[in-house]
Chain A
Amino acid sequence: MTTDPTPDATPDAALVELRGAGVSYGPVRALHGVDLRVLPGRVSCVLGDNGAGKSTLIKVVSGLHRHTEGELRIDGRPVRLASPRQAMDLGIATVHQDLATLPLMPVWRNFFLARELTRGRGPFQRLDIPRMKRVADEELRAMGIALDDLDQPVGSLSGGQRQSVAIARAVHFGARVLVLDEPTAALGVKQSGVVLRHVAAARERGLGVVLVTHNPHHAHLVGDHFTVLRLGTVELSADRDAVTLPELTEHMAGGADLDALRHELGTPAHQNRSTER
């Protein structure tokens, strides 16, 4: 149940660390006793079924909710995040599944939202639109997305492109930790590939990545460490070399529960093994 990602890692190397963290909404315990370490240049995958607590975990790390038990440490210091803004200032950028971009706003406005570049002072402070468009264009091209018209609303882009805009924005604004909430959930196979390539690229740049997904195949492609949540607690925490894809899938699917169900239904084991859900 304890995480021990790399033997040579000192305890202080974690960018973000959860220690026995939990969240209760009134009497409902959405998350309990969760440990998670996010290290630079590593992809930590958080997996789980619907309602497993993945979203709650993300909200704690991104500053949308405060944890009610345990500790959240950033650079080794315990913190309680008061707002998404504070998380961002500490270098944690979150790409939310459905909150990533604003469909009606132009690409460049989305890219710089709440981080707009300005010139002039005081009441004459105004947006530096040419510079914002240029920078947004450079960053998007660096991710392999060339848009000729940055004035087009983000809603007119494909799902993969939208995710890419959100990731490019996070990377550009000096994120040290990139939290991705189900980045491939709404995407086709090809677009998922683009997003997973971005995840790998972010890791190469030395970012700590938290990839939240319910797709063990995607997780296993890029993950260095896997945490499987179940009913708000950690079901499995293992490094890449300690777990195989079928094992991961099995844990995702409910592990022991599934065995019981299989027994009850009298289904031969091999038929259900390593299938999703």
Chain B
Amino acid sequence: MTAAAAPPAAPAPTPGDPAADRPRRTAAARVRRALARPGTGALAGAIAVYVLFWAVAPPFRQLDSLATVLYQSSTLGIMAVAVALLMIGGEFDLSAGVAVITSALTASMVAFQFTLNVWSGVLAALVLSLAVGAFNGFLLVRTRLPSFLVTLATFLMLQGLNIALTKAVTGNVATDSIRDMAGFDQAEAVFSSSIGIGGTQLRVTVLWWLGFAALASWVLLRTRYGSWVFAVGGDAASARAAGVPVTFVRITLFMTVGLAAWFVGMHHLFAFNTVQSGGGVGNELLYIAAAVIGGCLLTGGYGSIAGPVVGAFLFGMASQGIVYADWEPDWFSFFLGAMLLLAVLLNLWIRRQATRR
């Protein structure tokens, strides 16, 4: 029972016998349990990539570069946090990428067309984003179709709506600039300002990202809701039999993704003033990739928030590092794909090592 230097052999108790039903927790087992944490593979990968770019790209070493990398990571990372929660709960959301643009378009057009304070648009976008999430969740629960299909449908519908409605309303594929509208500066301060820290400019989204991640991690690990998320993702039927409100958990998880999409959409809007209606396509897969690199199981029931945070940071480093290293940017996607594959294989290997008995 004590962590004495016993052989690393995992417990193989003679089942049924109380005295033998007592697994020994050795030091080696402890280390293995630590290695089996969902984010270990991502962390190892992040360190390797950081060292790589530090070595080959001198500009990468500057503090400004780190701020840029963090900014890149944050917009992806905020979504990855919500998507990771959803994946731990056992579902996908393929509509998450275009939902960001839907949110930005809504806020922009509502404010511009009705000449309202931009905060009215922000609020309208919030309501719509939560509604899209609730719609996804509701469809999933009612039809019992896989979330892959349900959100694929939502993805296509939103993509079409984004472009068609924007064209119908503005006569253009992009929205009009809301730069000079009432409340813009305020909203920009919240969603897209920069803060001078240590001689460099840090985008506020980085702080929001880390804040959201800390909150999500606390909810996941320290609240009843978090336990339910693990349970629903692990086995929804078992969770329901135990008394977990499965429907509630599923719908609120999709709404959480909606909330994150709203926030990132607002950042997008107040960072660029206008929104291209065709954007966002493909990003949903990056969110999922960041979560998977971070150790979340595709099948649900297992994962963390810290892992996807590191996963998003890996993506940020790769996308900026390639620029700083002066490589062909065409290699970016290949690099990301290779990284994903390596991270997944590493996670798999670590988990096999750790759960070997």
Contacts and interface: CB of A to CB of B under 8 A. Distances in A.
B302 interface: yes
Contacts of A147: 22-23
Contacts, number: 113
A126 interface: yes
A214 to B, nearest CB: 21
B16 A109 contact: no
A56 interface: no
B23 A102 contact: no
A102 B235 CA distance: 7
Interface stretch (A186-194, A235-243, A261-269): A186-194
A188 B23 contact: no
A190 B222 CA distance: 37
Interface in B309-330: none
B180 interface: no
Contact of B241 (A84, A112, A152): A84
Given A84-B241, A146-B18, A113 B24 contact: no
Nearest to B1: A148
Contacts of A194: 15-16
Most chain A CB within 10 A, of B25, B222, B230, B238, is at B238
A159 interface: yes
Contacts of B237: 99
B223 interface: yes
A104 to B, nearest CB: 5
Contacts of A113: 227, 231, 239, 242-244
Contact of A104 (B14, B234, B357): B234
A125 B25 contact: no
Interface in B5-55: 11, 13-18, 21-25, 33
A148 B24 contact: yes
A99 B239 CA distance: 8
Interface centre among A105, A152, A193 (most CB of B within 10 A): A105
Contact of B22 (A104, A115, A146): A146
A85 B16 contact: no
Given A127-B227, A148-B22, A190 B15 contact: yes
A114 B234 CA distance: 14
B242 A114 contact: yes
A146 B244 contact: no
Given A99-B237, A102-B230, A127 B223 contact: yes
Contacts of A78: none
Contact of B243 (A102, A115, A127, A148): A115
A114 B238 CA distance: 11
Contacts of B239: 102, 113-114
Given A84-B243, A105-B234, 7 more contacts: A99-B238, A102-B235, A114-B242, A127-B227, A149-B33, A190-B15, A194-B16
Interface of A: 62, 64, 83-85, 88, 94, 96, 98-105, 109, 112-116, 118, 125-127, 129, 144-149, 151-152, 156, 158-161, 188, 190-191, 193-194
24 contacts: A84-B243, A85-B243, A99-B235, A99-B241, A102-B234, A105-B227, A105-B231, A105-B301, A109-B227, A113-B244, A114-B244, A127-B222, A127-B223, A127-B226, A144-B21, A146-B22, A148-B1, A148-B23, A149-B23, A158-B21, A190-B15, A191-B15, A194-B15, A194-B16
Interface of B: 1, 11, 13-18, 21-25, 33, 218, 222-224, 226-228, 230-231, 234-235, 237-244, 301-302, 355, 357
The 7 closest A-B pairs by CB, nearest first: A144-B18, A114-B243, A190-B16, A158-B15, A102-B234, A99-B238, A99-B241
